[in-house]
Structure 1
Amino acid sequence: MPVPGRRGLVSRSLLREEAYRAIRDAIVEGALAPGERLNDAELVEWLGVSRTPVREALGRLEHNGLVRTKPGRYTIVSPLDSRAERAAQSVTAAMHQLAVREALFDLTAVELDAMRTANARFAHALAEEDVDAALAADDAFHDVAVTASANPAVRSVLDQFTPVLRRVERLRFGSLGGRESVAQHERIIALCEAGDVDGAAAAVHANWQTLAPLLDAAPPAGEPPRE
Structure 2
Amino acid sequence: MPIPGTSTPSSRALLRDDVYGRLREAIIDGTFEPGEQLRDGDLATWLGVSRTPVREALLRLGQSGLVVARPGRSTMVSTIDSRPLHEARDVVAAMHQLAVRESVPSLTADDLRLMSEANERFEEAVVAGDVEAALAADDAFHGVPVKVCGNRSLAVVLEQFTPVLRRAERLQFASAKGHDSIVRHQELIRLCSKGDADGAAAVVFTTFHSLSTADGA
Q: Is residue 192 of structure 1 aligned with residue 212 of structure 2? A: no
Which residue pairs with 1:215 in the alignment? 213
1:186–1:23 CA distance, 2 compared to 1 (3 A): same
Over the matched positions of the two proteins, sequence identity in percent amounts to 53
| Letter matched to residue 30 of structure 1 | G
Q: Are the counterparts in 2 of residues 82 and 217 from structure 1 also a CA contact under 8 Å?
A: no
Q: Is residue 179 of structure 1 aligned with residue 169 of structure 2? A: no
Q: Match of 2:65, SS?
A: coil
Q: 1:82: how far off?
A: 4.3
Which residue pairs with 1:70 in the alignment? 70
Q: 1:79: how far off?
A: 2.4
Which residue pairs with 1:6 in the alignment? none
Runs in 1 of length 4+ with deviation above 4 angstroms? none
- Gapped regions of structure 1 (runs ≥ 5): 1-10, 219-227
**Cα separation, 2, equivalents of 1:13 and 1:56:** 11
**Cα separation, 2, equivalents of 1:37 and 1:15:** 23
Q: Is residue 126 of structure 1 aligned with residue 126 of structure 2? A: yes
**Cα separation, 1, equivalents of 2:47 and 2:141:** 31
**Cα separation, 1, equivalents of 2:50 and 2:35:** 24
Which residue pairs with 1:222 in the alignment? none
- Normalised by the length of structure 1, the TM-score is 0.83
Which residue pairs with 1:103 in the alignment? 103
**Cα separation, 1, equivalents of 2:82 and 2:37:** 21
Which residue pairs with 1:4 in the alignment? none
Q: Match of 1:69, SS?
A: strand
Q: 1:216: how far off?
A: 5.3
Which residue pairs with 2:157 in the alignment? 157
**Cα separation, 2, equivalents of 1:13 and 1:46:** 19
- Normalised by the length of structure 2, the TM-score is 0.86
**Aligned pairs, number:** 206
Which residue pairs with 2:114 in the alignment? 114
Q: Are the counterparts in 1 of residues 131 and 170 from structure 2 also a CA contact under 8 Å?
A: yes
**Cα separation, 1, equivalents of 2:84 and 2:41:** 29
Q: 1:178: how far off?
A: 1.0
Q: CA RMSD in A?
A: 2.1
